[in-house]
Structure 1
Amino acid sequence: MMRDRKALQLALLAVVMFGFGFLLVPLYDVFCDITGLNGKTATQAVAESHEVDTQRQVTVEFITYQSTGVQGEFTASVQHLKVRPGEMHQVDFTVTNPSSKDKILRAIPSVAPGRAASYLRKTECFCFQEQPLAAQSEAIMPMRFYVDRMLPPDIEIFTLSYTLYDISERASSS
């Protein structure tokens, strides 16, 4: 009797642990949205009117990474850009696929310092959706943005980085 009860408790513990592990990603996303940690940027376009702050200039740096297994090049058209808060800008990102197979790619953005992420307003971005890329081809992917005028004055420079992932297998199986 005692052995059955202990087995039931252990089985219940395993189910609870599995459920907790399964919920960690969405819980982490909610936590990052609330606190602004991890430099996650908004995943939807922002369309609002904005005025340009002509008294201030902020430097935005652009860094690109490719996850393990992604072949080809992934680069930004500029390494850094001096912008005035409220001023619209476009930076083009180039990606190549030298392989003989079509790919589906996904770019995940991150901003450092993390608290600057909530002041970066993207109106168009290749990171909003999956990007199909034909074999032996190149694509130019635009990202249009402005920096919100409410960016804290102590943030004079921040970095926007993108990590590119090949999600071809996952996308084809769904």
Structure 2
Amino acid sequence: MDFDLFGKSLIVFISLLQLQLCCGQEAYQQKALDLHNQYRATHHSPALTSDNTLNSNAVKCAQWYADQQKIDHKCPYKNGTGENLSAGNGGNWSNDQWAELSTKMWYDEVKYYNYSNPGFSGKTGHFTQVVWKNSQRLGFGYVQKNGYTVGVALYSPPGNYQGQFPQNVLRP
């Protein structure tokens, strides 16, 4: 009887492990997705879905930037997606904290966005990508290396196309 219970427990454990490996979503990635969707709802944009390939590529990009100790939007793993980056030195951030801090920081650029003259600006490019109505899928990655923390959000399809701001960045 004990073996039977152990065997069933082992099967359940392996099944859960396979689910995690197949589906690949970590709690911090869900946190980033939830916050993105909260902000997007405010701007009448449909909810993003988590994408396993984008999550994997976002982690690869975060590692790539952490290895360089700088962020420059040149990650070879982003494959034509939109990209928001965050980085910082010092601190001991958990991946959940970094997902929340990064997403909030990107969204907070909303205060600089001019709905009367919509378009791209270096002050608002992170915000506009977060709420870009046509983007459908999100991946988020986080890496901490030698005191340098990097967060990467990848969006597909990408946003911030000139001439498409009025229909993709809506007023709250």
Report which of the two has the higher share of strand. 1
Q: TM-score, normalised by structure 2?
A: 0.29
Q: Which has the higher contact order (CA 8 A, sep 6+)?
A: 2
Task: Say which structure is richer in helix.
Answer: 2
